[in-house]
Amino acid sequence: MVASTVAELLVQRPLGLVFDIDGTLSPIAPTPGEAQLYSGVGELLTRAKQHAHIAIITGRAVLDGARMVNVDGLTYIGTHGLEQADGLPPQAQVQLLPEAQEYREAGTYLLDLVEQEKLPGCLVERKSVGGTIHYRLAPDPEQMRQRILSLLREPAQRVHMQLSEGKRAIEVRVPLHINKGHALRSFVQRYKLQGVLFAGDDRTDIDALLEIERLHDEGIKAVGVAVQHADTLAELLAHADIVVQKVEGMVELLRTIVEELEKTA
């Protein structure tokens, strides 16, 4: 049995299923490079794409997110909506939003500043524009967070880049009003979706859950899922229709969805 909200969603066509990666389809690992999809997720997405349009919306670069998920025929949206590929690169071309091009240099400059400091336990992940500084492995992560923020605050302002925060990570982002919510809406509009589910676990996913609420108000069957971990923000949970426990709970829900789609096909 599936909850009534999900059951009503799954009969809509066109249907869309949209997922974050880290903490949603893949357990959080000590470094982003070590993270892997939870066992069986690739197969479930392959089955699900027979019945629904599927998008992955991640803070990772498109190339990185697509490499991790590695299922062809999905829409991969990276860097919170800045870049996108329909299918797996390199066959599928990665498209960067044109208005983001001019910030490439500023992003590189700020990440260079961090690397030059040789901060212990910090990893710099570079993206098409900007990137992410991971400080999970720093000896004192909270102190490191402060140190990175004070290092970057003034230079970021000067070159018109924005800083935002995720779990033990600081992101260097373009000052464009782009987020997972906009990416989700574009995906819905592109395929004229009548039903859509979004699942995520972190601060940047709140924008997408807020967009799910707006889409719902506009008459689209829209369902928001929060994946709860020990440190999940109350705000994320507050905007979700369904809360699942950890990646295991998310994969369980995905399995239920796929089985239901196959049953009613």
Instruction: Report the interface residues with Mg ion, using CB under 5 A.
Output: 20, 22-23, 201-202
Q: By C-beta, is 20 or 125 nearer to Mg ion?
A: 20
Asked if residues 61 and 78 have their Cβ atoms less than 8 Å apart, the reply is yes
Is the CB of 203 or the CB of 221 nearer to Mg ion? 203
Least distance in Å: CB of 85 to Mg ion? 19
With tokens 């040789």, the residue in question is 118
Vertex 25: Cα angle to 35 and 262 (nearest 5): 145
Place of tokens 């950890």: 246
Nearer to Mg ion, 202 or 241 (CB): 202
d(CA 101, CA 217): 34
Give the Cα separation of 198 and 181 in Å (integer). 10
User: Phi and psi dihedrals of 95, rounded to 5?
Assistant: -110, 125
* Between 125 and 201, CB nearer to Mg ion: 201
CB of 187 to Mg ion, least distance (A): 17
Separation CA 164–CA 128 (nearest Å): 17
CB of residue 201 to Mg ion, shortest distance in Å: 5
Q: Are strands 162-166 and 242-245 parallel, antiparallel or unpaired?
A: unpaired
Least distance from C-beta 24 to Mg ion, angstroms? 5
CB nearer to Mg ion: pick between 22 and 171 = 22
